[in-house]
């Protein structure tokens, strides 16, 4: 009886991995075949469409990077009389608020909201909701404090809203401090696969395009209709993505709207960031999976893609479980008909896992970007996957425990930034 149960469990896990494998094959082939045509098409739009725009910048202890971003805000080519920049100083204990105030005093379109200890530190979603109350623009854009956008990024993002069917947009994230060390280089590869291939394919194939929490925006009317960001969710971006689609709207991906981030530069920082992402994503899976299946706003293929997207952080746990299950099956000489699945699972460990831009998407993304040297590091992504097994397992167990005791972890355990991307700014100055 035990053997039959283990065989069924192993077969089920292999089938799920195969689903991710097929999904990423389709994404990769589609972008590889039509990528250049899509990129040309993405440049089309109504460049003369210039609505009023409010930019929200949540910042908590960001004194090393906030000045860099605000200086860039003053260099944006979008008409300043139609621009509002709102910095939410979320109970910072460093010079973040002071630096922001210096820009506010000098530039009339820059506004600073200071949140004290009694109201701040409750999470990024809470800070964004505080900023939204002061937003006057028809379009609301969001940028994290460590980001460095193109000068014309506002034009590239808002031109999509000239289409009345577009209610939200997402731009491309590129790592600013990629040359710093091996960690930043691997994160850059993950971002390449995720944004150059995964996001582009989902958008063009009419699937669930994900709002990434930054370098994107919405019609203010939509945010108000949805009630802003859910402050109980760690992954407020994924949560908002599915609330948008379940309400009958969609997110438009803009490939050429690039913004440069300061990526984590140590394995400890990587753990903390991905743990928060994994736990928040799992929260979204528990919250939205059933509603996704019952929705009358989505097609069957969108529901399938949505489920795969929601459960992506469970994949390292599932693969690890399949390894554990395969040991007794192998030792106890499991059924011969199951042996091909055992081989398939071992291959899937590297290629089919849907977490952090799998092998195919990273390779093709780097190829399309002309980054031949970066491709040499792709095999090292096997280590990041192995590293994510304990990260996602701990996130899952902690989430289950918090649900059992009725405790919700929504504090802002943010990534620390030290301005390590500053020395690479010159590379992107002309973009």
All domains of the chain, ordered by start, with CATH? Answer: 2-32+298-405 (no CATH), 46-266 (3.90.550.10)
User: Is 368 within 8 Å of 32 (Cβ atoms)?
Assistant: yes
pLDDT per position as a tens digit, 45-104 = 566 899 999 999 999 999 999 999 999 999 999 999 999 999 999 999 999 999 999 999
| Displacement of CA 360 from its chain's centroid (Å) | 19
Backbone angles phi, psi at 300, to 5 degrees: -60, -45
Is residue 10 within 8 Å of 326, Cβ to Cβ? yes
pLDDT exceeding 90 applies to what percent of the chain?
63
User: Is this structure's pTM higher than 0.95?
Assistant: no
Residue written as token pair 């291959």: 347
| 266 pLDDT above the threshold of 80 | yes
Largest CA distance in the chain: 75
Burial of 244-272, coded b for 16+ CB within 10 Å and e otherwise, reads: bbbeebbbbbbbebbbbbbbbbeeeebbb
Place of tokens 């091996």: 182
Closest CA to 112 of 82, 157, 146, 145: 145
Share of the chain above pLDDT 70, in %: 87
Distance CA 260, CA 172 (A): 9
Q: Are 121 and 402 in contact (CB under 8 A)?
A: no
Residue 34 is predicted with a pLDDT of 77
* Residue pLDDT, tens place only, 206-247: 999 999 999 999 999 999 999 999 999 999 999 999 999 999
- Could you report the per-residue pLDDT of 293-318, keeping only the tens digit for each? 999 999 999 999 999 999 999 988 88
């Amino acid at each position: 009886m035990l053997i039959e149960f283990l065989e069924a469990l192993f077969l089920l896990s292999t089938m799920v991995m195969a689903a991710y494998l097929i999904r990423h094959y389709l994404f990769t082939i589609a972008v590889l075949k039509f990528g250049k045509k899509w990129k040309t098409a993405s440049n089309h739009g109504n460049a003369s469409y210039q609505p009023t725009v409010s930019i929200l910048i949540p910042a908590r202890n960001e004194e090393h990077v906030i000045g860099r971003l605000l200086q860039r805000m003053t260099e944006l080519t979008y008409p300043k009389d139609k621009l509002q920049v709102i910095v939410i100083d979320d109970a910072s204990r460093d010079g973040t608020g002071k630096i922001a105030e210096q820009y506010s005093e000098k530039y009339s379109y820059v506004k600073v909201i200071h949140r004290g200890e009694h109201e701040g530190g409750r999470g990024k979603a809470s800070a964004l909701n505080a900023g939204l109350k002061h937003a006057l623009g028809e379009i609301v854009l969001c940028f994290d404090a460590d980001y460095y956008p193109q000068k014309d990024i506002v034009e590239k993002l808002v031109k999509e809203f000239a289409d009345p069917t577009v209610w939200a947009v997402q731009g491309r994230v590129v790592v600013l401090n990629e040359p710093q060390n091996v960690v930043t280089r691997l994160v850059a590869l993950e971002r390449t696969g995720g944004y150059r291939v995964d996001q582009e394919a989902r958008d063009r194939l009419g699937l669930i395009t994900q709002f990434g929490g930054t370098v994107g925006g919405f019609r203010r009317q939509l945010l108000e209709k949805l009630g802003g960001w859910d402050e109980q969710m760690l992954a407020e971006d994924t949560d908002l993505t599915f609330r948008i689609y379940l309400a009958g709207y969609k997110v438009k991906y803009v490939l050429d709207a690039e913004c440069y981030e300061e990526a984590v530069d140590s394995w400890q920082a990587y753990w903390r960031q991905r743990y928060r992402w994994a736990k928040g994503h799992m929260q979204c899976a528990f919250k939205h999976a059933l509603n996704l299946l019952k929705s009358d706003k989505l097609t069957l293929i969108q529901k399938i893609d949505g489920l795969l997207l929601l459960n992506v952080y469970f994949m390292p746990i599932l693969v690890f479980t399949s390894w554990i299950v395969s040991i007794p099956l192998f030792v106890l000489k499991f059924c011969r008909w199951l042996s091909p699945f055992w081989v398939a699972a071992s291959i899937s460990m590297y290629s089919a896992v849907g977490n952090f831009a799998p092998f195919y998407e990273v390779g093709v993304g780097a190829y399309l970007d002309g980054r031949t040297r970066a491709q040499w590091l792709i095999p090292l992504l096997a280590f990041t996957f192995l590293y994510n097994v304990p990260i996602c397992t701990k996130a899952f167990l902690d989430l289950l425990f918090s649900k059992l005791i009725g405790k919700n972890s929504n504090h802002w355990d943010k990534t620390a930034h030290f301005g390590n991307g500053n020395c690479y700014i010159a590379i992107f100055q002309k973009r």
